[in-house]
Amino acid sequence: MIPRIKNILYTTDLSENSTYAFRYALNSAEMHGAKIHILYVLKPKFIGMYPDVMVEVGPEPKEVIAKIKKRLNVLLQEESKDNPDRAKLVSTIEVIEGDPVVKILEKADQMNPDVIIMGTHSKGFIAQTFLGSVAQNVLQHSRIPVYVIPLPKK
């Protein structure tokens, strides 16, 4: 017997595929009466060392986190404009800093969702082989089902 889906962990990087994958999360939540927990993992700032000087590149994480949360809320409102009840399916929007694979797996262990839904980039075989991907690594190490939504053909 397949367990009922009650909690969905939707992870996003706000890429081109994020809206498409979010629609899958919304549809799954509607079909199963589930709640969606949105997670964005912000990679730490680049810190470089030069002789006698430490250089940090990028704005303060608090500023970036606020902008990301705003973009996630805009995405939610846009996807709910035809059906305002869809917005109620999202119970949390969280932006945290760290390694995306590690933080997604930690969040999954912490909240124990029934499924993780995430998009993937179509980077091609060579890029996937040498660089790996967040989706591929989450899929390999997760103890719960992971729905990986590929970028649709245009």
pLDDT tens for 120-137 read: 865 555 444 443 488 889
CATH number, domain containing residue 79 = 3.40.50.620
Show the CA angle centred on residue 99, arms to residues 97 and 103, nearest 5°. Answer: 75
The Cα–Cα gap between 36 and 93 comes to 9
26-61: pLDDT as tens digits? 999 999 999 999 999 998 765 555 656 655 555 567
Is residue 1 in some structural domain? no
pTM of the model: 0.85
State the chain's maximal CA–CA distance in angstroms.
62
- Residue 154: inside a domain, yes or no? no
Amino acid in the structure at residue 94: E
Total domain count, the chain: 1
Q: Do residues 81 and 93 touch, judged by C-beta distance below 8 A? A: no
Q: Determine, yes or no, domain membership for 14.
A: yes
Domain that holds residue 45: 7-24+32-149
Q: Please name the amino acid found at residue 96.
A: I
Tens digit of each residue's pLDDT (9 = 90 or more) over 53-85:
655 555 567 888 999 999 999 999 999 999 999
Q: What is the pLDDT of residue 70?
A: 95
